[in-house]
């Protein structure tokens, strides 16, 4: 976790140094998009290669999807209720 | 959105059909670590030129730390509901949901503390949660707002989904996402250890 926070901090300082540089802003965007797409690709590779996941998918797939959906929705809905209660709707 | 789907699907096909050289899978973990750092570095660079993000953080104040606690509570409450309508016991359902999207850690921990099947279920559940977040975060942001979008990602809001959060909110949600991700990540091993004691 500390590596991630350190990378964020380093990126922030580099960004601050070249705050007015449109080139650096573009580089930041390329890093973000490229990093994300590679992470997704790697995640797909892992899932595709994992024999146990493919074998157990018929047994666990729908249950896992249900759990994932329920926990995600639960978090989002309660966060929304909390945001409304505090009256701090994030500007969109 | 299309790029996300294409990346994930082409990765799956490459892994499934063994299209990549063996050396790729040997170095996969290191490459993932590297890509994650590059992504977060890029988010940091984008954040530096965005004063709005800091104004937003100032406006939210101390409650920035309450959001992840509320989100975790929401996840666990819904997990209780899953236990009612499925074959899972309450403690199993809570343990699985305690991954908060961190699939690698939750799968390994539950396989060790609970049983291998539960570890696999936790892994798949949290992989699905990340995929749901990647495809649904934009919609949730438009319909339910920024806090809900951050909460949806759980522990991933400080890494994989941070780039998307930054993109959809023009950087405003980055501090909130990082804080939420860190707090979620700290609670993953604690919650899993706690619930798995009652398995």
Q: Which residue of B has its CA nearest to A9?
A: B44
pLDDT of B131 reads 92
Rounded Cα distance between B78 and B108, Å, is: 23
Closest alpha carbon to B125 in B92, B149, B158:
B92
* Residue A91 host element (H or E): none
Q: Which residues contact A54 (CB under 8 A, 6 or more apart)?
A: B16
Least CB–CB distance from A28: residue in B46, B130, B182: B46
Q: Looking only at Cα atoms, what is the longest distance across chain B?
A: 50
Q: What is the pLDDT of residue A52?
A: 78
Between CA B82 and CA B85 the distance in angstroms is 5
**pLDDT the model gives residue B95:** 94
* CA dihedral for B19, B162, B3, B104, sign (positive or negative): positive
CB–CB contacts below 8 A, A to B: 308
Average pLDDT, chain A: 84
Nearest to A41 among B7, B43, B63 (CB): B7
- Quick one: which of A8, A42, A76, A80 has its CA closest to B103? A42
Q: Does A55 touch chain B (CB under 8 A)?
A: no
Shortest CA gap A17–chain B (Å): 9
Mean pLDDT score across all residues of chain B: 88
Q: For residues B15 and A13, what is the distance between their CA atoms, to the nearest angstrom? A: 37
**Nearest CA among B142, B5, B157, B169 for reference residue B71:** B157
Residues 6+ apart with CB under 8 A from A59: none
d(CA B97, CA B89): 12
> How large is the average pLDDT for residues A11-15?
87
Q: A28, B45 in Cβ contact below 8 A? A: yes
Q: In this predicted model, what pLDDT tens digit does every residue of A55-85 receive, in sequence order?
A: 777 878 899 999 999 999 999 999 999 999 8
In chain B (199 residues long), the average pLDDT of successive 10-residue segments reads 80 86 81 84 80 75 89 95 90 94 85 82 92 94 94 91 90 90 90 88
Say whether the ipTM exceeds 0.90. no
| Cβ pair B132:A69 closer than 8 A | yes
Q: Give CA angle at B43 (A25, B1), nearest 5°.
A: 95
Confidence of residue A16 (pLDDT cuts 50, 70, 90): confident
B-chain residues within 8 Å CB-CB of A89? 145
Q: What pLDDT was estimated at residue B42?
A: 85
């Amino acid at each position: 976790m500390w590596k991630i926070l350190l990378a964020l901090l380093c990126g922030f300082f580099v960004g601050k140094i070249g705050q007015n540089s449109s080139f650096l802003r573009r580089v930041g965007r390329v890093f973000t998009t490229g990093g994300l797409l590679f992470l997704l690709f790697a995640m797909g590779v892992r899932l595709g290669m994992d024999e146990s996941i493919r074998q157990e998918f018929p047994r666990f797939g729908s249950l896992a999807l249900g759990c994932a959906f329920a926990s995600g929705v639960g978090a989002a809905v309660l966060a929304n209720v909390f945001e409304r209660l505090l009256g701090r709707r994030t500007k969109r | 959105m299309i790029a996300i789907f294409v990346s994930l699907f082409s990765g799956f096909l490459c892994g499934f059909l063994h299209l990549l050289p063996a050396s790729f899978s040997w170095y996969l973990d290191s490459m993932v670590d590297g890509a994650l750092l590059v992504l977060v570095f890029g988010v940091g660079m984008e954040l530096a030129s965005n004063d709005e993000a800091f104004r937003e953080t100032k406006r939210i104040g101390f409650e920035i730390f309450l959001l992840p606690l509320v989100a975790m509570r929401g996840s666990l409450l819904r997990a209780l509901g899953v236990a009612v309508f499925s074959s899972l016991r309450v403690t199993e359902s809570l343990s699985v949901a305690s991954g908060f999207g961190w699939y690698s850690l939750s799968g390994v921990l539950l396989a060790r503390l609970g049983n291998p099947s539960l570890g696999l279920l936790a892994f798949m559940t949290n992989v699905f949660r990340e995929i749901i977040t990647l495809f649904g975060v934009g919609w949730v942001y438009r319909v339910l707002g920024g806090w809900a979008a951050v909460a949806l990602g759980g522990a991933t809001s400080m890494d994989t989904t941070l780039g998307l959060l930054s993109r959809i909110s023009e950087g405003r949600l980055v501090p909130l996402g990082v804080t939420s991700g860190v707090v979620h990540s700290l609670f993953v091993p604690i919650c899993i250890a706690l619930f798995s004691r009652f398995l």
